[in-house]
Amino acid sequence: MARFLRSHFPTIGVLAGWQYYWTATPRSYLDPIFRGIRAATQRFNSNLLLGCGMGTAGRSDVFVRPAWPARTDNADFVPIGPWNTDGLIVINPLHAESRSTYVQQLRAEGYPLIFVGSGESGPTIVADNEQGIDSALRHLVDHGHRAVAFIAGSPEDMDGDTGARLNAYRAGVAMLGLAEDERLIAFGNHVVDGGRLAMQQLLESGASFSAVVASNDESAQGAIQALHAAGRIIPENVAIVGFDDRPESAVLKPALTSVQIPLFRMGYLAVERLLQQIRGQALDDQPIKVPTRLVVRESCGCGHSAVLADVLDLAAMPTEDTAPPSAAQLTQQMTQAVLVEAQGLARDEIEFYCRSLATAFLNSVQTHDPLPFQAELESILGRTTARGDDAHLWQVAISVLRSQARQLPALRQEPEALLDDARVLISAAMRQQHRRQVVDHRWTSNHVGRLTALLLTALDEAQIYESLAHYLAEMGIHTAWLALFEAEDDDPVAWSRIRDVVAPARPVLHSRTRSFPPPEWQGDGRPFSLALLPLSGQQGGAGFMAFDAIHLDLLGAIAQQMSAALNTAKLYREATEGRRLAEEANQLKSRFFSR
């Protein structure tokens, strides 16, 4: 509390019980949570330190390797802790008793802390697992299934989401009168390989089933692989439903029906609640449950018409009021519908956009002039895509307006034209967004490839830093600090030598590691937002890199390449020094014997 009162901005730290990067690629579960947290810290003028653990290159079997504020064998140290933050957001499960003990000790000392996901005692933001599993089971029952198998998460996570979803499955089976057989339950550890092995176990168990609910989308993906290998056709032979609704679920063959968790919203809400704690407001331990929604696709047996109906149902807001809707009523209905689909916009932003759109819509109706509505929609689409969200989500807002159009007498003569033009505008924005993503991906891949080639051939640190300074600036990365640890007594991470990679003329700082970030580099009067990535591959973990937390999709590959390049330079320097010493020894020996 005293630190907060002295500081212009509160500092929020974020830790997860596993790595953010699966080698170099962001995990699709953590990514929207981190984006929601970053959006909220920007909205509420807070500093942010994101702990982004790194997977081990070439070791996809290393599932748990988080960035953590304590040095352990199964984690990489980063300076995000009670010494340089005003509160912590901790994402469950923690996967280790030592990590649970660490954060619970902080809670016992009164340190502000909130969890995302179940598994720990304390203030928690959690998805409504019971609602999600119930909706999945009822949907499969509607398709005629009476024997539904379940792929659970980890047996060690029975106090977390694994246990909550498994218990919800058992309760749903009993309530709906489905086949009860323990052979229909297998554990997949919430990973693809685990889901594949779990499905093989179910197929070999001898238990009959025609549908499967998986505790997350990764295990569902593994189950699909095993079903394909066994010659089972989805959904004709076996229907399957996942949980999480990750982006890759929509592009599977067939597309995966999944329970959608509003991960962005959970991250955003965690910041709101943590700031309440930091300001001295006590929070109870009763979890805040965020509603889930079943997203219907093909893997459950639904066709394209059902998928379309599911989208349109979001806009079906039945009302007994036959009076023309007001701007406030339209705003409320559109906000509720759009919020379900949004992944990068906060609720207050969506409400603001919906109010502007509703007002412009009614204005166009009253004046018989489509331009105010079209101009406002184009503006909203531009701001939406700039924030990284999908322009398509505004289609459901247009569906809300269409459902209410029949109550507007002045619009009866031209409802289709105004709203159809809106559909065309959204379609054009989606096309432009896709093209921009393709161009940006090619441009980024080119720059990352050239940077990789330079780092692979660099044989000393000077070449490494020169290459990074040039290409990071071109890629729009303007904050990149390299910190190498130095020991003091029995603490190998007590000090850090910090180099500004994109500003090589800046003097190297020597500062206490746990006082990061250095106050000398925080002089612009704005909150900082930094992602901290361990330098993997070094003996004992040599340090970390800190970047501005904008380009999280790029930072994993850069840190991984940086670590490998530094290792290569170190080995080359040692080999060169060894050859030099050997040559000097041989020269001395030759002179000695020549006498």
Q: Which residue, among 289, 299, 298, has the nearest Cα to 262 in the 3D structure? A: 289
Q: What 8-state DSSP symbol labels residue 54?
A: B
| CB 145, CB 212: distance < 8 Å | no
| CB 66, CB 548: distance < 8 Å | no
SS3 465: helix
| CB 336, CB 317: distance < 8 Å | yes
User: What's the pLDDT score for residue 60?
Assistant: 47
3-state secondary structure 337-374: HHHHHCCCCCHHHHHHHHHHHHHHHHHHHHHCCCHHHH
- The phi, psi pair for 54, rounded to 5°, reads -115, 130
What's the pTM value of the predicted model, to 2 decimals? 0.85
- Residue corresponding to tokens 């599993």: 133
User: What's the pLDDT score for residue 27?
Assistant: 82
For the chain, the farthest-separated pair of C-alpha atoms sits apart, in whole angstroms, at 114
User: What's the pLDDT score for residue 305?
Assistant: 57
What residues contact 392, with CB distance under 8 A and at least 6 apart?
341, 426, 430
Return averaged pLDDT per consecutive 10 residues of the chain, 595 residues in all.
57 95 83 93 95 71 80 91 97 93 96 95 95 97 97 91 96 96 96 95 96 96 96 96 90 92 93 96 89 93 66 51 75 87 81 93 86 93 85 88 69 66 90 84 79 80 82 86 93 94 89 92 84 72 89 87 79 76 76 66
Burial of 80 (0-12, 13-18, 19+ CB in 10 A): buried
- Residue corresponding to tokens 């001395």: 588
User: What's the pLDDT score for residue 218?
Assistant: 93
Give the torsion through C-alpha atoms of 269, 275, 276, 280, to 10 deg.
160
Q: What's the CA gap between 92 and 547, in Å, rounded?
A: 24
User: What's the pLDDT score for residue 3?
Assistant: 47
Amino acid code (one letter) for 580: R
Distance of CA 478 to the CA centre of its chain: 22
User: What's the pLDDT score for residue 2?
Assistant: 41
Please count the other Cβ atoms lying within 10 Å of the Cβ belonging to residue 82.
Answer: 18
Q: What 8-state DSSP symbol labels residue 213?
A: E
Half-sphere exposure of residue 38: CA atoms within 13 angstroms, side-chain side: 22
SS3 196: helix
| CB 143, CB 303: distance < 8 Å | no
Handedness of CA 512, 41, 17, 499 (dihedral sign): negative
